[in-house]
Amino acid sequence: MSVMGTRVVRVEDPRLLSTGGVYTEDLRDPRLTGALHLGFVRSPLAHARVVSVDAAEALAAPGVVAVLTAADLGLPAAPPMMPNFNPAMTLPALAGDVVRYAGEPVVAVLCEDAYQVEDAVGLVDVEYEPLPFVVDMRAAARDEVLLFPEAGTNTVCTFGAEELDEGLFEGCEVVVTREIENQRVAVASMEGRAGAAVPDDDGRLTLWLSTQAAAMSQGAVAGWLGLGPEQVRVITPDVGGGFGAKIGADPEHVVLAAAARHVGRPVRWTETRSENLVAMCQGRAQVNTVTIGGTRDGKVLAYRLDVLQDAGAYPRFGAFLPALTTMMAAAVYTFPKIETRARSVVTNTTTIGAYRGAGRPEATHAIERGLDLFAAEIGMDPAEVRRRNLIPRFTEPHATSTGGFYDTGDYPEALDRALWASGYDDLRAEQARRRERGDEVQMGIGLCVYVEITGAPLGPEASEVAEIQVHADGTATVLTGTSPHGQGHATAWAMLAHEETGIPIEKITVEHGDTDRIPDGTGTFGSRSLQQGGVAVQQASIELVELARQRAAQLLEADPSDIVLDKDRAALQVKGSPTSAVTFAQLAEKEPLGVKTKFVAPGPTFPFGAHVAVVDVDTRTGKARLRRLIAVDDAGTVLNPLLCEGQRHGGFAQGAAQALMEEVRWDADGNPETSTFASYPFLSATEVPSFELVEMATPTTYNSLGAKGIGEAGTIGSTPAVHNAVVDAVAHLGVRHIDMPTTPQRVWTAIQEAAR
């Protein structure tokens, strides 16, 4: 019986549920015996000149081994990661003369004991001379306060149209335009960043990192240290969530590695939550000016998306996000004319990076919120407006004018299923009754139809490696280039290998994340794992069976074409004669049995879906409560529904949290206001309902599994749906828009203003 598409429970769970995972801080590897503990002195100011560092008191404190500044480590600043970034905007490992955000690491402190580090960090005396600062991206775009005076501007890069087309909206009966904020949110993986470094006797460095992509971390750290990649070995312990922010290397990782080399001792580092919330890359942070023109009967004729991206203090992946946002601007619609333009600017804030969806949620949010504004303007139901503009079902790739190349899709069907499952007409009827009665608690219904891009390569090709080895005891090892941190690859990849070979799932071990073992792996991000890494495992398994067939044929003195696989016994046998057989294990006993392969995808895939959110809004207090979330998320063929649903649930909550709660904030003095979990509104189980999942699976033709990515879709669909629902709940009171997060105060204020 095939395991494909079945709810296999996870093989990784017994360990995680009993002795717990081995996250970086849990490592008890003998090589780390006697490791020093690293801590950072961080800037309390948004923008300042570093006048002096006095380490004397810290150095005299118990257990302090070293206090290191940028000059001590002699690390160069990293050049901008993209060729179109302003070349003057380089990233220091430790701040030198200038700090550019509150939380920036300035001094590294090494102690014998973790408790001593916190004492010692407080004893380092850094004198700062405050500089004018700018934390708001709109203000930064005016170039009045410059972060990098030598750059002459705060603009990192631009994308899209140089000149706007004056005539874009000619012939439109209705044009709506609005600035829509996609606020900055914290990644807030439950495990923050952590690492451990051991300088080996041969000059090599072993680095355990909480990462989503070991090879990229290896490349980044080695490059920064001026070493060849082979000089650094990255090993990935269990990782407590990443959501995009654990790709590559951060300054702290490089300081960890450099410090270990500097003192010639193992060093370990675990950030606190207070550090995590100011110094780990954050997400989103766009202001999108959306203009939509069309006819009164609901046909959109032209769409303009003008993106302002806050890159934070140092341009990293965040500055590049608009490339994805503008690419996905065409969304699921047939808009005849689309124009996009984008600009990324630096601000005195935490650096922006990838966060679950990275650039695509922003595109979806802009158009989905914008379409509701358009619908409100012409007085048409938002579902109907969407229907009138959706791209019809297609089976051959569909190219968009903004550079998308959608593989397969059926957007009208996704919308219909979501509406049907939600009981849309009944919901609208209930809403009408409540409005008529003038209830204190009104309800809102919000929609989102989305398409997104998954498995997009960061390099030249969309590919992933896999290796499978069978051992003489009948067990097998799968080595994968992906890097699970909750996604369940140990289970899913074992299912795939089992499906092809018959080797029992419980006998298959999946290894990942060690650059010595898997030097050419890529990692897990951009919802790429199953469609590339999983397919590679399937391909390796098929190749393994083929290799075994050849060997079995020789051994059993038969023609390879007469050898068949007996999955029940994990054996190869001569067709029609079950006694003439040899198991994989027996073949492995004779000579090593394994294959290594790489799957190259023809390109990224484009999952899609439709969400309906239902919220209750207390119109007297402005508080919104998410009552229902109904979701169609079509990611092609599903390998393991349990895992797939889990990815969706997590995404829904994160997406809803952005619409309702989350926002990273600074006060008027440039101080972070949300640097702990007491102040950053991470939502708990009480703020979300159980979710309602609707199935739909339109396979891709780009891989043998028919699978697209599901890791980020939930987040992409839910934010606009929930946001639209909140606005819809008070639309009858005259409210057209409320920026996210739709806090009670904002909703209440919007109601007051509309009444005026």
Partner 1 sequence: MIPAPFRYLRADSAAHAVDLLGEHGDEAKLLAGGQSLLPVLKLRLADPAVLIDISRVPDLSYIRVDGDEVAIGAATRHRDVVESEELRREVPLLPHVAGYVGDRQIRHRGTLGGSLVHADPAADLPCAVLALGATFVVEGPSGQRRVDAGEFFQGYFQTAVGADEILVEVRVPRTGGAGWAYEKFVRRSNDWAIVAVAAVDGRVALANMGETPLRATATERALAGGASPAEAAASAAEGTSPIEDMHADRAYRAHLARVLTERALVTAAG
Partner 2 sequence: MKIGTTVNGAARQDEIEDRLLLVHYLRDRCGLTATNVGCDTTSCGACTVLLDGESVKSCTVLAAQVDGREVTTVEGLSADGADPHPVQAAFRQEHGLQCGFCTPGMVMASVSLLRDNPKPTEQEVREGLEGNFCRCTGYHNIVRAVLAAADGVSS
* Start-end of H helices in 562-622: 584-590
Q: How far apart are CA 600 and CA 622, in angstroms?
A: 51
Binder of partner 2 out of 56, 164, 190, 432 (CB under 8 A): 190
Q: In this chain, which stretch among 79-87, 116-124, 314-322, 523-531 interacts with partner 1, using CB under 8 A?
A: 116-124
CA nearest to 715, candidates 374, 196, 360, 208: 360
Q: How far apart are CA 529 and CA 496, in angstroms?
A: 13
Does residue 620 interact with partner 1 by CB under 8 A? yes
Binder of partner 2 out of 649, 665, 732, 746 (CB under 8 A): 649
Q: How far apart are CA 47 and CA 102, in angstroms?
A: 7
Q: How far apart are CA 331 and CA 391, in angstroms?
A: 9
Does residue 31 interact with partner 1 by CB under 8 A? no
Binder of partner 2 out of 645, 663, 712, 728 (CB under 8 A): 645
Name the minimum Å distance from CB 215 to partner 2.
Answer: 20
Q: What is the separation of C-alpha 385 from the centre of its chain, rounded to a whole number of angstroms? A: 30
Does residue 135 interact with partner 1 by CB under 8 A? no
| N residues, the chain | 756
State which residue, 470 or 629, has the beta carbon closest to partner 1: 629
Name the minimum Å distance from CB 458 to partner 2.
Answer: 22
C-beta of residue 480 within 8 angstroms of C-beta of residue 522? no
Q: Which two tokens stand for residue 373?
A: 């504004």
**DSSP-derived pairing of the beta strands 48-54 and 64-68:** unpaired
Does residue 246 interact with partner 2 by CB under 8 A? no
* Bridge partners, residue 293, by sequence: 175, 302
Nearest residue relative to ligand FES (C-beta)? 190
Choose the contact partner of 554 out of partner 1, partner 2, ligand FES, none; CB within 5 to 8 A by kind: none
Does residue 690 interact with partner 1 by CB under 8 A? no
Choose the contact partner of 661 out of partner 2, ligand FES, partner 1, none; CB within 5 to 8 A by kind: partner 1
Does residue 60 interact with partner 1 by CB under 8 A? no
The dihedral through the CA atoms of 723, 724, 725, 726 has a sign that is positive
Q: How far apart are CA 623 and CA 242, in angstroms?
A: 30
Q: In this chain, which stretch among 167-175, 237-245, 248-256, 326-334 interacts with partner 2, using CB under 8 A?
A: 237-245
Name the minimum Å distance from CB 439 to partner 2.
Answer: 22
Name the minimum Å distance from CB 119 to partner 1.
Answer: 7
Binder of partner 2 out of 43, 86, 155, 487 (CB under 8 A): 487
Q: How far apart are CA 97 and CA 81, in angstroms?
A: 22
Residues near partner 2 (CB under 8 A), total: 55
Binding mask 156-185 for partner 2 (x = CB under 8 A): ------------------------------
Does residue 627 interact with partner 1 by CB under 8 A? no
Name the minimum Å distance from CB 620 to partner 1.
Answer: 5
Binder of partner 2 out of 5, 44, 241, 474 (CB under 8 A): 241
Query: In angstroms, what CA-CA distances link 737 with 373, 417, 726?
Result: 8, 27, 9
Does residue 753 interact with partner 1 by CB under 8 A? no
Binder of partner 1 out of 115, 226, 520, 590 (CB under 8 A): 115
H-helix or E-strand spanning residue 224:
helix 214-225
Q: Which parts of this chain interact with ligand FES (CB under 6 A)?
A: 190, 241, 486
> What contacts 24+ positions apart, CB below 8 Å, involve 546-551?
547/593, 547/595, 548/470, 548/572, 548/584, 548/587, 548/593, 551/587, 551/590, 551/591, 551/593
State which residue, 12 or 381, has the beta carbon closest to partner 2: 12
| Burial (Cβ within 10 Å: 0-12, 13-18, ≥19) of residue 509 | middle
Q: How far apart are CA 592 and CA 94, in angstroms?
A: 48
Chain residues 263-282 in contact with partner 2, contact rule CB under 8 A: 272-274
Count of beta carbons in the 10 Å neighbourhood of residue 371: 28
Does residue 119 interact with partner 1 by CB under 8 A? yes
Query: Coil, helix or strand for 256?
Result: helix
Choose the contact partner of 20 out of partner 1, partner 2, ligand FES, none; CB within 5 to 8 A by kind: partner 2
Q: How far apart are CA 663 and CA 741, in angstroms?
A: 7
Does residue 621 interact with partner 2 by CB under 8 A? no
Does residue 623 interact with partner 1 by CB under 8 A? yes
| Residue ranges in contact with partner 1 by CB under 8 A | 114-115, 118-119, 122, 272, 274, 620-621, 623, 661, 665, 673-674, 676, 678-679, 681-684, 686-687, 743-745, 748-749
| Residue ranges in contact with partner 2 by CB under 8 A | 9-10, 12-14, 16-23, 25-26, 28, 114-115, 188-191, 238-241, 243, 272-274, 485-488, 642-643, 645-646, 649-654, 676-678, 682, 684-686, 688, 690-691, 714
